[in-house]
Structure 1
Amino acid sequence: MFNWLQHFADWFIYSVLSIGAETHLGVALNFFVYDTLKILILLFVIVFIMGIVNAYFPIERLKDYLNKKKLYGLEYFFSSIFGAITPFCSCSSVPLFIGFVQGGIPLGVTFSFLITSPLVNEVAVAMFIGMFGVKATLIYVASGILLGTIGGWLLGKFNLEPLLSDWVKQILENKMQQAQFEEEHKTFYQRLPEITNGAWDIVKSVLLYVIIGIAIGAAMHGYVPENFFSAYLGGGEWWTVPIAVLVAVPMYANAAGIVPVIQVFVAKGVPLGTAIAFMMATVGLSIPEATLLKKVMSLKLIAIFFGVITLCIILSGYVFNILL
């Protein structure tokens, strides 16, 4: 199918629009058409599959399970897994994080979810498979889940509950009774329209980000000189990974918008591990996320959270460059 898409892009740009294949514009537009079609197809398929998973794994069950079971540290891993299968960016995962805190789930476990949710989701996985192959995708997914597990465990050991906001403390002290979960007994075929519409809604919600991200990537692919990025981040020096992460922290974007840009980074000579670390910092740490977290955390707790995750992402970047 991807070969057919490439033939279509070649035919549309070079024959229908009569733009030369050797021109910067032709290269950029060909990249844009091919990647847009490929990513949107992959995106819908994987979001649809994950919609089936989410339909049979409701949040309330996870809350009850984590509260009632003694898991000997595995709760951090399970929370990271749940974060990986939920289609949220860093900002949209914050309300669910608040719900976890309100439900009495340990703070470190809620951090595992908050860390992994924006880093690993079906959007990023779909785009990674198409752009970097299965091996890189598996390493990316596994490392994102591991990052959430370790980061949540570390933060849980710091006893940070006193640094929660007064609003959260009041909720926890009042022990607000949670609404009892009522399971909907629906067959798969009864759920199918809802799952399909949900998948399409997610695709529509990120469509603009996908187009903008691919457009930026296409412009860079067609017009940026080959040695531009390699001159600054492509040398493989030890300091390129922390620089890439620190530069990315203030730059908020979701996975749909940043992955096409990362593809061009790699094509221009930036090591894949450094590029992935840049992406993780961009989607996992942001000023809008910090603003939302102010509702549930003190500034000191936000600083600790961002500091620990920044360090973990930098270490992950080094590991990526060794494995990939």
Structure 2
Amino acid sequence: MFNWLERMAKWLVYDVLRMPPEDHLAKALDFFIYDSIKILLLLFTVVVIMGVINSYFPIDKVKNYLSRKKLYGAEFLMASLFGVVTPFCSCSSVPLFIGFVRGGIPLGVTFAFLVTSPLVNEVAIGLFVGLFGLRTTLLYVVSGVLLGTISGLILQKLKLEKHLTPWVKEVLANAQMEQNRFVAEKQTLKQRLPIIWQEALKILKGVLPYVIIGIAIGGLMHGYIPSGFFEKYMAKDNLFAVPIATLLSVPMYSNASGILPVVQVLVDKGIPLGTAIAFMMGVVGLSLPEAMLLKKVMTMKLIGIFFGVVMLCIMVSGYLFNMIL
């Protein structure tokens, strides 16, 4: 379906509007049409599925089970591994993040997924093997999973639930009330679906402005920021190249498969692989469009903490890569 949407976006921009493929505005518009429709469809689908699950499995019981069960961090690792098999960019991962929060999954566990999902996926792994070899690919995959797991553990320890927005708390309260009603009235799935559908539409309406603004920002970045713009700041002899590369990556926006050819060019130009990978991780794992989408569910303080912890982990990974490779 996503391939069909991508073809439709290109058809609208390049065939119907007859915009030249090399035009920056055309690239931005193509990106905006495809990503906005994809994310809205994904969000609606996830919310409906989580609504059905929530109607049968009480949110409080899920929370209590995960808080009582001594999994010794395995839940964070499982969330990171789930992120590996979901081929989404940072903005596309946000709908699943909202669905997880709505389902009562602890915030740190959802963060573990949110970090790993855009960083590592099967498409990126395949490209990585072809570009850099098996050994480097294994290090990249392990570091991506560990990055999500460690970030999730740290963020869970900080007990940041109080920094979720009132909108999320209202969504959680509504989900609990719906579940209680379904159980009390012993409704069938057919009877439950209209209520679940209405709640999904309500959530979609609530995040729509943030999706549009966030993807518009991403489209402009995608169309107008040249890939070689930051190369001069990543020189091999610069001790602070890794943190600079990580910080400068945030204004850019792409998925892992889209940025990997850029990483290869950077490495070919003599930039250390660890610095280039830190840049890639920042591009796909942290972005201004993602922050705009998260603004609906997190306070600015929580977004700042989340970005700060992930950036720190990315920098450590970058330095380690430079030492090992």
TM-score normalised according to structure 2 size: 0.63
What is aligned with 2:243?
Answer: 242
- Please give the alpha-carbon distance, in whole angstroms, between the structure 1 residues aligned to 2:301 and 2:233: 33
| Correspondences of 1:210-229 after superposition (within 5 Å) | 229=231
> Is the contact between residue 163 and residue 298 of structure 1 (CA under 8 Å) also seen in structure 2?
yes
- Once the two structures are TM-superposed, the CA of residue 132 in structure 1 deviates from its matched residue by 0.3
- Once the two structures are TM-superposed, the CA of residue 148 in structure 1 deviates from its matched residue by 0.3
- Please give the alpha-carbon distance, in whole angstroms, between the structure 2 residues aligned to 1:66 and 1:150: 22
What is aligned with 1:31?
Answer: none
- Once the two structures are TM-superposed, the CA of residue 299 in structure 1 deviates from its matched residue by 1.1
| Correspondences of 1:199-214 after superposition (within 5 Å) | none
> Is the contact between residue 294 and residue 302 of structure 1 (CA under 8 Å) also seen in structure 2?
yes
> Is the contact between residue 89 and residue 117 of structure 1 (CA under 8 Å) also seen in structure 2?
yes
What is aligned with 1:318?
Answer: 319
The yes-or-no answer on 1:107 pairing with 2:107 is yes
| Correspondences of 1:137-176 after superposition (within 5 Å) | 137-174=137-174, 175-176=176-177
What is aligned with 2:292?
Answer: 291
TM-score normalised according to structure 1 size: 0.64
SS of equivalent residue, structure 1 residue 91: helix
Per-residue CA shift, 1:94-133, capped at 9, x if unaligned? 0000000000000000000000000111221111011000
Per-residue CA shift, 1:58-87, capped at 9, x if unaligned? 9969x9997545212211111000011111
- Please give the alpha-carbon distance, in whole angstroms, between the structure 1 residues aligned to 2:323 and 2:309: 22
One-letter amino acid of the structure 1 residue matched with residue 264 of structure 2: Q
What is aligned with 1:88?
Answer: 88
What is aligned with 2:14?
Answer: none
What is aligned with 1:257?
Answer: 258
Q: 1:124 to 1:159 in 2, by over 3 A?
A: same
- Once the two structures are TM-superposed, the CA of residue 266 in structure 1 deviates from its matched residue by 0.4
Per-residue CA shift, 1:202-247, capped at 9, x if unaligned? xxxxxxx9xx99xx88xx7xxx9xxx95x64232432010111111
Per-residue CA shift, 1:185-204, capped at 9, x if unaligned? xxxxxxxxxxxxxxxxxxxx
- Please give the alpha-carbon distance, in whole angstroms, between the structure 2 residues aligned to 1:90 and 1:241: 21
> Is the contact between residue 107 and residue 156 of structure 2 (CA under 8 Å) also seen in structure 1?
yes
- Once the two structures are TM-superposed, the CA of residue 91 in structure 1 deviates from its matched residue by 0.3
- Please give the alpha-carbon distance, in whole angstroms, between the structure 2 residues aligned to 1:171 and 1:236: 50
> Is the contact between residue 236 and residue 271 of structure 1 (CA under 8 Å) also seen in structure 2?
no
- Consecutive unaligned residues of structure 2, counting only runs of 5 or more, are 1-48, 184-188, 190-218
| Correspondences of 1:258-273 after superposition (within 5 Å) | 258-273=259-274
One-letter amino acid of the structure 2 residue matched with residue 161 of structure 1: E
| Correspondences of 1:300-319 after superposition (within 5 Å) | 300-319=301-320
What is aligned with 1:75?
Answer: 75
Q: Report how many residues are paired.
A: 226
Per-residue CA shift, 1:291-317, capped at 9, x if unaligned? 111111111111111111111111110
- Once the two structures are TM-superposed, the CA of residue 172 in structure 1 deviates from its matched residue by 2.4
SS of equivalent residue, structure 2 residue 262: helix
> Is the contact between residue 66 and residue 75 of structure 1 (CA under 8 Å) also seen in structure 2?
no
> Is the contact between residue 272 and residue 320 of structure 1 (CA under 8 Å) also seen in structure 2?
yes
- Please give the alpha-carbon distance, in whole angstroms, between the structure 2 residues aligned to 1:301 and 1:171: 18
One-letter amino acid of the structure 2 residue matched with residue 311 of structure 1: L
> Is the contact between residue 163 and residue 298 of structure 2 (CA under 8 Å) also seen in structure 1?
yes
- Once the two structures are TM-superposed, the CA of residue 256 in structure 1 deviates from its matched residue by 1.9
RMSD: 3.0
What is aligned with 1:36?
Answer: none
> Is the contact between residue 233 and residue 245 of structure 2 (CA under 8 Å) also seen in structure 1?
no
- Please give the alpha-carbon distance, in whole angstroms, between the structure 1 residues aligned to 2:252 and 2:118: 14
| Correspondences of 1:181-200 after superposition (within 5 Å) | none
